[in-house]
């Protein structure tokens, strides 16, 4: 069945979905045109699911399936070509775009909101969308991946001035220059917006949970499962979930109104399988080496139904602390597609200003640089990207990954949503950037070795970095890292001809092609590399397809897959060559 729904990772996006699986009162939903890796589970009464045609009827912009554009997509044609029916309207919760009773929140109004991914931060935020009694919170100057929906009773939202009254620090917008001098009066005047009225906020009372209470909870690391759980700790509006029989390391916090927690007996009433506590028998019979794991599910989502090694295990130590296992489904975030930060300051955000538009100036998103697709939404696929270079683009000699690094902003720290999450640069990159700063000041001369390794003079850095750390980093880079940088600059003399001779076939493919490879093709390529003939079976057993292959790091290949350093270097260098070929096309 086909339907419309909001992307949980990009809460501003209304997307085309299909029902891929039904388990009791829960649905596994699939983004049409995208990999099954991005499928997600929701309850059948989820308020963010809508019948086909709802977005158009209510003035929302619908993201069409991959390969379609908003101009060419129509539900009538799509349903006919796909030969699948639309989900009947009576199956959906009656959600209206406008609230029947006014709640005081309007699109574009400002407020103070807690970052759910880093609850110590309270930031300047905007009401980005309103859906019935629910409000979409967006953090000014930040990506939309930190956005979240809530209602007026949420404990995470507060009126203007709440931080000052409560003695808490307020994080200003990411693009606000004078951090210490931020005032609400100046910001409202600059953006020509208004604040949400204080009377609109109605915080709900504290929860009634108690420690050691039993419940049934969705396993966030493996969401197709609901497990027997206990409340291990409580806060005013949050509870900590502990799965019975598991180590405390797997505990996690959820909001007390989360749709993923249920009372005892919920699974039985809704005919959903309940996974019991871990027992010694289940551990001994499991094919997965991770204690407690039964081999069900996969770290890459619904694309794989099971696993038998730590590489694909959602509970393995190597996957526990990874922020992102998969690449972002839709590529650049909303802030990337705004033409400049001043544009965002001059006018309140609109729900229709979503990032599916190509960020290249003058491009309407049609066509693709490879000629394989009818549309694109990233600069990497834009046919006009070589013809237009934004005036604010960083110099080619500076890695793009360092463009927003604190060291490039005069040492200004990062404030706002998710600080410390997904924004940390390795010590090696920090040292390289420090050398660039010294180079700009005329204090050090820069040069590259033949293999592309960067030379850092300790005498120029000793005031900033401990000399022992520099030495340790240099030894690690020399011994364990590939001879090429993970994200090689086009200006570096990387001696591709020599690498190609050692890795036959690697120079004939680019990352865009490799992404589409099956597990068999990946295994075949690995087996074709000199000295790697016996490793094809390893990649086949691990069910590593092209997309997963490109995400492998040298550490993954050596430590997780237990491949010796020599063959691992050849495999990893092949991945780097694929990515470099993609950049050169």
Sheet holding 226-234, edge to edge: 252-255, 238-243, 226-234, 214-218, 261-262
pLDDT at 294: 78
Q: Which domains does the chain have, with CATH numbers?
A: 2-91 (2.30.30.140), 110-200 (2.30.30.140), 496-584 (1.10.150.50)
pLDDT at 95: 62
Reported as a single tens digit per residue, the pLDDT across 153-200 is 999 999 999 999 999 999 999 888 887 889 999 999 999 999 999 999
Statement: residue 490 has pLDDT above 80? no
Rounded distance between C-alpha atoms, residue 159 and residue 169, angstroms? 14
Which helix (H) or strand (E) covers residue 527, if one does?
helix 519-528
Reported as a single tens digit per residue, the pLDDT across 341-367 is 333 344 444 434 333 456 665 565 656
* Of 21-25, 316-320, 528-532, the least confident: 316-320
* Of 15-29, 153-167, 504-518, the least confident: 504-518
Measuring CA to CA, how many Å separate 295 from each of 207, 255, 263, 301, 312?
35, 28, 26, 13, 9
Reported as a single tens digit per residue, the pLDDT across 23-55 is 999 999 999 988 888 899 999 999 999 999 999
pLDDT at 327: 73
Rounded distance between C-alpha atoms, residue 537 and residue 523, angstroms? 7
pLDDT at 285: 60
Reported as a single tens digit per residue, the pLDDT across 572-585 is 888 988 888 876 65
Token duo for residue 226: 């609901």
**Kind of pairing, strands 261-262 and 214-218?**
antiparallel
pLDDT category of residue 548 using cuts at 50, 70 and 90: confident
pLDDT category of residue 432 using cuts at 50, 70 and 90: very low
Query: Which residue, 583, 96, 172, is CA-closest to 414?
Result: 172
Q: For the residues 414-423, what does the mean pLDDT come to?
A: 48
Q: Who's near 376: CB < 8 A, 6+ residues apart?
A: 358, 365, 366, 367, 368, 369, 382
pLDDT at 361: 58
The answer to whether the CB of 426 falls within 8 A of the CB of 454 is no
Reported as a single tens digit per residue, the pLDDT across 54-68 is 999 999 999 999 888
pLDDT at 311: 78
pLDDT at 233: 95
pLDDT category of residue 305 using cuts at 50, 70 and 90: confident
Residue with tokens 């096309």: 585
Measuring CA to CA, how many Å separate 550 from each of 222, 400, 512, 554, 572?
23, 19, 10, 11, 9
Residue 151 sits at the vertex; the CA angle it makes with 149 and 156, to the nearest 5 degrees, is: 75
pLDDT category of residue 441 using cuts at 50, 70 and 90: low
pLDDT at 255: 94
Reported as a single tens digit per residue, the pLDDT across 270-297 is 999 999 998 766 555 667 877 778 778 8
Reported as a single tens digit per residue, the pLDDT across 83-92 is 899 999 999 9
Reported as a single tens digit per residue, the pLDDT across 465-486 is 444 444 444 444 444 444 444 4
Statement: residue 241 has pLDDT above 90? yes
Residue 305 sits at the vertex; the CA angle it makes with 267 and 66, to the nearest 5 degrees, is: 100
What per-residue string of b and e applies to 487-497 under the rule 16 or more CB within 10 Å gives b?
ebbeeeebebe
Computed over every residue of the chain, the mean pLDDT equals: 75
What are residue 97's phi and psi, to 5 degrees?
A: -70, -30
pLDDT at 61: 92
Q: For the residues 393-420, what does the mean pLDDT come to?
A: 41
Reported as a single tens digit per residue, the pLDDT across 94-118 is 666 655 457 789 999 999 999 998 8
């Amino acid at each position: 069945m086909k339907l419309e729904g909001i992307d949980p990772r990009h809460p501003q996006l209304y997307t085309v979905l299909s029902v891929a699986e039904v388990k009791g009162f829960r649905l596994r939903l699939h983004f049409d045109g995208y990999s099954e890796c991005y499928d997600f589970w929701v309850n059948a009464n989820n308020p963010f699911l809508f019948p086909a045609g709802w977005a158009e009827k209510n003035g929302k912009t619908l993201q069409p399936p991959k390969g379609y554009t908003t101009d060419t997509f129509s539900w009538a044609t799509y349903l006919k070509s796909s030969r699948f029916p639309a989900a009947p309207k009576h199956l959906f919760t009656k959600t209206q775009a406008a609230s029947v009773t006014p709640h005081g929140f309007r699109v574009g109004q400002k407020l103070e909101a807690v970052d759910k991914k880093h609850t110590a931060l309270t930031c300047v935020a905007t009401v980005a969308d309103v859906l019935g009694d629910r409000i979409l919170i967006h953090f000014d100057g930040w990506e939309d991946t930190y956005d979240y929906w809530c209602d007026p009773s949420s404990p995470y939202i507060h009126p203007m001035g709440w931080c000052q009254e409560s003695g808490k620090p307020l994080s200003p917008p990411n693009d606000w220059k004078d951090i210490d001098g931020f005032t609400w009066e100046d910001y409202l005047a600059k953006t020509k917006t208004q604040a949400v009225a204080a009377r609109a906020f109605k915080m709900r009372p504290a929860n009634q949970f108690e420690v050691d209470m039993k419940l049934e909870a969705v396993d966030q690391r493996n969401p197709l499962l609901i497990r027997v759980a206990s409340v291990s700790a409580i806060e005013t509006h949050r509870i900590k979930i502990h799965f019975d029989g598991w180590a405390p390391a797997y505990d996690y916090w959820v909001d007390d109104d989360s749709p993923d927690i249920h009372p005892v007996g919920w699974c039985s009433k809704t005919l959903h399988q309940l996974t019991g506590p871990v027992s010694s028998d289940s551990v001994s019979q499991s094919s997965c080496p991770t204690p407690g794991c039964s081999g069900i599910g996969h770290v890459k989502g619904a694309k794989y139904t099971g696993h038998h090694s730590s590489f694909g295990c959602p509970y393995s130590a190597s996957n526990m602390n990874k922020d992102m296992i998969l690449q972002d489904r839709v590529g650049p975030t909303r802030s990337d597609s705004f033409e400049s930060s001043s544009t965002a300051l001059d006018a309140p955000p609109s729900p229709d200003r979503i990032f599916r538009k190509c960020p290249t100036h003058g491009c309407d998103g049609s066509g693709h640089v490879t000629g394989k697709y009818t549309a694109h939404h990233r600069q990497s696929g834009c046919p006009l990207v070589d013809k237009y270079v934004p005036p604010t683009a960083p110099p080619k000699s500076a890695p793009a990954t360092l463009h927003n690094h604190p060291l490039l902003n005069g040492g200004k720290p990062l404030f706002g949503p998710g600080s410390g999450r997904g924004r940390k640069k390795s010590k090696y990159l920090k040292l390289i950037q420090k050398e660039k700063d010294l180079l700009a000041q005329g204090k050090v001369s820069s040069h590259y070795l033949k293999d592309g390794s960067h030379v850092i003079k300790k005498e120029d850095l000793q005031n900033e970095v401990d000399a022992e750390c520099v030495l340790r980093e240099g030894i690690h880079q020399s011994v364990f890292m590939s001879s090429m940088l993970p994200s090689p600059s086009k200006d570096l003399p990387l001696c591709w001809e020599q690498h190609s001779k050692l890795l036959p076939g690697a120079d004939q493919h680019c990352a865009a092609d490799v992404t589409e490879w099956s597990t068999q093709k990946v295994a075949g390529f690995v087996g074709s590399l000199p000295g790697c003939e016996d490793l094809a079976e390893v990649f086949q057993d691990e069910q590593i397809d092209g997309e997963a292959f490109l995400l492998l790091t040298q550490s993954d290949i050596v430590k997780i897959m237990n491949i010796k350093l020599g063959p691992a270097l050849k495999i990893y260098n092949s991945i780097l060559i694929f990515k470099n070929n993609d950049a050169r096309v």
